[in-house]
């Protein structure tokens, strides 16, 4: 598998794929897309809102045929490959390599609208920007991702600002605090949390815990450390096969797991975290911390919550198999901002991108959409600096859907870590954001030789 992918990556000599590190002085691509000049009103065939994982992939897929008639609404100047932040937090990867300028990630032929969408008006096929400009469209694709709500936990934002031992791998600033804090940890309570909401990359809160525990062992402070995982979930992992494997990991490492336990507040001055016991009427207790990795509550972006495109939970209401909106047939959604009931990962967005492209093309041609998405998602569960459990499954049924039939993917493997740490970032930058990767389904069929999924 690794050889096949490596050869394919080597052949995909795409412009502008080298990592952008702060200390490098590489020449900026002369053909990069630039933000468009503001107008009072403009019209496009396809408008993609969100320049994240899903939005960039969709823009790239349509750019060759639509050119400037596809617009991407994205206010940020930097696109981050966030799955690598687990390894950044553990000091295994450099933060600078996790980001690229948006000018180089978006297809050069598209129109980049460097603004924020503020109002959606699907009845009139338009949206409004922060500047007041109205953007009209024939078709709309929503790829806004999820909103991180650090402010929902009293005291947490102040703790990030003032306590060097409080970090979070879900923020481009706070992730850079994680490894320095872990390296300076001298013992005591190291607490890792999972909030009482859905989140992107639901395996990440415990991945950093395993890496931290390894750091404590290497630094000779493990015997003085109490590693605690306080999760709001009723299980350690949603998919049973991989959950069983993870229970073995925490047992072997001597990690304490407290389920249905939710971080409610932080007082960095007394280094105290308050937790709710969700199955006991939200009864609370306090716990001292010497290191705290807080995974924030997350939700749909506020602009979606207040729009007619959202369901009751605030997410884009789409058919889970076609990704087409339940009410507005010219609207589609992709990735974390949608109501699709599968764990929210970059792998899911990659799989969805090909399906959305096919179904949106069908609608443009006056044809019917097809129920193609089966809920595939993947979560490489890093358990050490050289081991990983490669979880792949259907998010709808929670049944395993693995690519490699000749190995047990629920076993910690060095090859799985190499795939996560080295191959997947290259796959992401060279193929996924370029619209050339729709997930491993083709490889899975090849390796299974047509026998099963």
2-146+301-369 CATH choice from 3.90.1150.10, 3.50.50.60, 3.90.25.10, 1.10.287.130: 3.50.50.60
Q: Which two tokens stand for residue 118?
A: 């503020």
**pLDDT digit string, tens, across residues 310-342:** 999 999 999 999 999 999 999 999 999 999 999
Measured on CA atoms in the order 445, 324, 71, 80, is the torsion positive or negative? Answer: negative
Catalytic residue among 56, 201, 337, 351: 201
**pLDDT digit string, tens, across residues 117-132:** 999 999 999 999 999 9
Q: Which two tokens stand for residue 14?
A: 């795409």
148-299 CATH choice from 1.20.1260.10, 3.50.50.60, 3.40.50.20, 3.30.530.20: 3.50.50.60
Catalytic residue among 110, 126, 379, 388: 379
Q: How far apart are CA 158 and CA 268, in angstroms?
A: 8
- Parts of the chain belonging to CATH 3.50.50.60: 2-146+301-369, 148-299
- Taking alpha carbons only, the member of 256, 284, 296 closest to residue 153 is 296
Q: How far apart are CA 146 and CA 85, in angstroms?
A: 16
User: Predicted confidence band at 20 (pLDDT cuts at 50, 70, 90)?
Assistant: very low
Q: How far apart are CA 367 and CA 361, in angstroms?
A: 8
pTM of the predicted model, to two decimals? 0.91
User: Predicted confidence band at 452 (pLDDT cuts at 50, 70, 90)?
Assistant: low
Q: Which two tokens stand for residue 138?
A: 């024939």
CB atoms < 10 A from the CB of 109, how many? 18
Query: Active site includes 379?
Result: yes
Q: Is residue 94 left, alpha or beta, with left meaning phi > 0 and alpha meaning psi from -120 to 50? A: beta
Strand partners, 417: none
Percent of the chain with pLDDT over 70: 92
Strand partners, 121: 126
Query: Active site includes 110?
Result: no
Which uninterrupted H or E stretch holds 286?
Answer: strand 283-288
Mean of pLDDT values over 378-399: 97
């Amino acid at each position: 598998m690794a050889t096949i992918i490596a050869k394919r990556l080597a052949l995909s000599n795409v412009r502008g794929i080298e990592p952008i590190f702060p200390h490098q002085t590489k020449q900026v691509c002369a053909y990069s897309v630039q933000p468009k000049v503001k107008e009072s009103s403009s019209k496009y065939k396809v408008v993609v809102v969100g320049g994240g994982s899903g939005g960039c992939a969709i823009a790239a897929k349509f750019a060759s045929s639509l050119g400037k008639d596809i617009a991407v609404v994205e206010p940020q100047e930097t696109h981050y490959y966030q799955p690598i932040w687990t390894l950044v937090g553990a000091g295994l990867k450099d933060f600078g390599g996790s980001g690229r300028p948006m000018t180089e990630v978006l297809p050069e032929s598209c129109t980049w609208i460097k603004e924020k969408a503020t109002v959606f008006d699907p009845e009139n096929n338009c949206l409004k920007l922060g500047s007041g400009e109205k953007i009209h469209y024939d078709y709309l694709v929503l790829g806004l991702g999820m909103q991180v709500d650090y402010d929902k936990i009293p005291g947490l934002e102040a703790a990030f600002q003032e306590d060097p031992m409080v970090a979070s791998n879900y923020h481009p600033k706070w992730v850079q605090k994680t490894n320095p804090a872990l390296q300076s940890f001298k013992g005591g309570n190291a607490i890792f949390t999972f909030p009482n909401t859905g989140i992107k990359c639901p395996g990440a809160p415990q991945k950093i815990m395993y890496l931290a525990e390894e750091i404590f062992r290497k630094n000779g402070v493990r015997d003085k450390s109490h590693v605690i995982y306080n999760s709001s979930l009723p299980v350690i992992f949603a998919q049973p096969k991989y959950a069983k494997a993870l229970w073995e990991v925490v047992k072997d490492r001597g990690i304490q797991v407290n389920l249905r336990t939710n971080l409610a507040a932080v007082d960095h001055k007394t280094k105290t975290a308050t937790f709710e016991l969700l199955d006991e009427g939200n009864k609370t207790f306090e716990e001292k911390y010497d290191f705290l990795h807080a995974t924030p509550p997350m939700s749909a972006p506020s602009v979606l919550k207040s729009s007619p495109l959202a369901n009751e939970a605030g997410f884009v209401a789409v058919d889970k198999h076609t990704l087409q909106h339940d009410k507005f047939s010219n609207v589609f959604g992709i990735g974390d901002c949608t109501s699709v009931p599968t764990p929210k990962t970059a792998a899911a967005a990659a799989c969805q991108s090909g399906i959305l492209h096919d179904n949106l093309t069908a609608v443009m041609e006056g044809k019917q959409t097809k129920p193609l998405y089966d809920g595939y998602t993947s979560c490489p569960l890093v358990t050490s600096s050289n081991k990983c459990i490669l979880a792949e499954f259907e998010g709808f049924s929670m049944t395993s859907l693995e690519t490699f039939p000749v190995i047990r993917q629920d076993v910690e493997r060095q090859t799985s870590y190499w795939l996560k740490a080295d191959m997947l970032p290259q796959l992401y930058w060279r193929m996924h954001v370029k619209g050339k990767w729709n997930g491993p389904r083709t490889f899975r069929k090849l390796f299974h030789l047509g026998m099963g999924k």
